[in-house]
Structure 1
Amino acid sequence: MNTLSQAWDWLTTSANWSGEGGVWNRLVEHLFLTVVCLLLSCLVALPVALVLGHLGRGGALAVNISNVGRAVPTFAVLVLLLLSPIGSYGYWPTVIALVLFAVPPLLTNAYVGMRGVDQDVVRAARGMGMTGTQMLLRVELPLAMPLILTGVRIAAVQLVATATIAALAGGGGLGRIITAGFNLASTPQVVAGAVLVAAFALLVEAVFVGAERLAPSWGRRG
C-alpha cells in the first residue's frame, strides 16, 4: 500500500506533468506513435483482407502467414531491427516492429467479416447489375464493418500497451516514464507509468467500443 500511495503522490505532483519529460509530453508522443503505427497497419492489412475476402481466394493462407507474427515477440523483432542497418533510422525500427504486431488482428477480422457477409445479399446485388467494386464498397464493406472495427480496436489497444518498448530504443512515449523509474530505482514511478499506460489503453478501448456501436447503423445504410 505504501508503494501505491507513493505512486499516487507522483501522479498528483504537478511538476511531473510539465516539461519535456512530463506526462503530457510523453502522452502526446505515445499517442502520435500509436496513431502512426495504426494507420500504417491499416494501409497494409485492410486492402489485402478486403480484396481477398471479396474474391474468396487466398485469404486463409494470408491470415495464417500473418498470424505467424504473433508467435514472435515484438521485443525480439525490435532488437533484430536495431541490430540491422535499419537501426540507424530513428523511430523506424520501433514503427516496423509495431506495425508487424498490429497486422494480424486487422487482417484476420477484416477477412472473416468479409467472408461472413450473407451470400444471398451478395447474389441479390450481383443480380441487380452491380459491379465487383460496387458490391465490395456498397454491400460487403458496410456489412463487414463491425468485425473490421473490432480488429482495429484490438490492434489499437495492443499498440498502446506495446508502444512502451519505444523507450528501449531511445524513443518517446509513456514508456520513458517507466524506464526512468527503473534507472532511478523508483518503484512508485514505475507503477505510476504502468497506471498511465493502462488508463490510456482503457480510454482507447472505450472510444472504439463507441464506434463499434455505430457500425450496425452504417451497415444498414449501406
Structure 2
Amino acid sequence: MNLLTDAFRWILDSEQWQGSNALHVLLLQHLTFTVLAVAGAALIAVPAGWAIGHTGRGREISVGLSGAARAVPSFGLLILLVLVFGVTQKTEAALVTFVVLAIPSLLAGAYSGIEAIDRSVIDSARAVGMSERQILFRVEIPLGLPLLMGGIRSAMLQVIATVTIAAYVNLGGLGLPIITGLALRRYDMVLGGALLVALLALVIDGLLTLMQRMSVPRGLRSTVHGVSNAQRAPALRSTRANNS
C-alpha cells in the first residue's frame, strides 16, 4: 500500500510535469506513436481485410501471416529494425515495429466483420440489382463496421502497451519512467509509469467502446436486447432493398 501511495505522490509531484521529460510530454509521445502506428496498419490491413471478406479469397494466407506477426517478439523486432535502419532512423524502426503489431487485429476485424453478415442479406442486395462495389460499400462495410471497430480497439490497446519499449531506444513515451525507475531502483517511479499506461489504455478503450456501439447500424441495435439473426433477417432484407 505504501508503494501505491508513493507512486501517486510521484505522479502528482510538480517536478514530474516540468522539463523535456515531463509526463504530459511523454504522454503525447506515447499517443503519437500509437495513433501513427494504428493508422499506418489500417491503411494496409483494412482494405486487404475488406477484399478478403468480400471475395472469400486469401483468407488462409492472411490468417497464417497474422499468426506469424503475432508470434514475433516486439522487443526483438524493434532492436533488429534499429540495427537494420540505423541509429539515425530509430523512429522509423519503432513505427514499423508497432505497425506490424497492429496489423493482425485490424485485418481480422475487417474480414470477420464482412464474413459475419448473413448471406441472405448479400443475396437480397444482388437480387435488387446492386453491383459488387455497391454491395461492398453500401451493405458489407456498414454492417461489418462494429467488428472492425473491435479490431481497432484491440490494436490500439496492444500498441499502447507495447509502445513502452520505445524508451529502450531513447524515443520517450510513458515507458521512460518505467525503464529509468528500474535502473535507479525507484519502484514508485516504475509503478507510477505503469499506472499512467494503464490509465491511458482504459481511457482509450472506453472511448473506442462507445464508438463501437455507435457504429452498429440502427437496424441491428435490437440485437443488443436479444433479438436473433433469424428474427432480424427479413427486416434487414427489406431495409437494404429500400435503400437501393
Query: One fold, TM greater than 0.5?
Result: yes
Q: Match for 2:123: what amino acid?
A: R
Matches within 5 A, 1:161-176: 161-176=161-176
Matches within 5 A, 1:199-214: 199-214=199-214
Name the counterpart of 2:236: none
1:25 aligns with 2:25: yes
Percent identity, aligned pairs only, is: 37
Q: What number of residue pairs does the alignment pair up? A: 222
Matches within 5 A, 1:51-90: 51-90=51-90
Q: TM-score, normalised by structure 1?
A: 0.95
Post-superposition CA distance 1:163-192 (Å, at most 9, x none): 111101110211112122123221110110
Offset of 1:19 from its aligned partner? 2.2
**Partners of 2:23 and 2:219 in 1: how far apart?**
39
**Partners of 2:87 and 2:116 in 1: how far apart?**
41
The gaps in structure 2 that reach 5 residues or longer are 221-238
Offset of 1:50 from its aligned partner? 0.2
Post-superposition CA distance 1:101-151 (Å, at most 9, x none): 111111112111111111111111112211111110100001111111000
**Partners of 1:183 and 1:20 in 2: how far apart?**
20
Offset of 1:219 from its aligned partner? 6.8
Q: TM-score, normalised by structure 2?
A: 0.86
**Partners of 1:120 and 1:185 in 2: how far apart?**
61
Post-superposition CA distance 1:32-86 (Å, at most 9, x none): 1100001001111000000111011112221221211111211111111122135
Matches within 5 A, 1:1-222: 1-217=1-217
**Partners of 1:199 and 1:19 in 2: how far apart?**
22
Offset of 1:218 from its aligned partner? 5.9
Structure (1 or 2) with the larger CA radius of gyration? 2
Contact 2:143–2:217 (8 Å) recurs in 1: no
Q: Secondary structure at the match of 1:44?
A: helix
Q: Match for 1:193: what amino acid?
A: G
**Partners of 2:112 and 2:67 in 1: how far apart?**
14
**Partners of 1:219 and 1:71 in 2: how far apart?**
38
Contact 1:18–1:25 (8 Å) recurs in 2: no
**Partners of 2:86 and 2:40 in 1: how far apart?**
17
Contact 1:164–1:176 (8 Å) recurs in 2: yes
Q: Secondary structure at the match of 2:90?
A: coil
Offset of 1:18 from its aligned partner? 2.5
**Partners of 2:112 and 2:197 in 1: how far apart?**
30
Question: Which stretches of structure 1, 4 residues or more, deviate above 2 A after TM superposition?
Answer: 85-88, 182-185, 217-222
Contact 1:166–1:173 (8 Å) recurs in 2: yes
**Partners of 1:207 and 1:64 in 2: how far apart?**
31
Q: Which moved more, 1:46-55 or 1:66-75?
A: 66-75
Offset of 1:87 from its aligned partner? 4.6
Q: Match for 1:203: what amino acid?
A: V
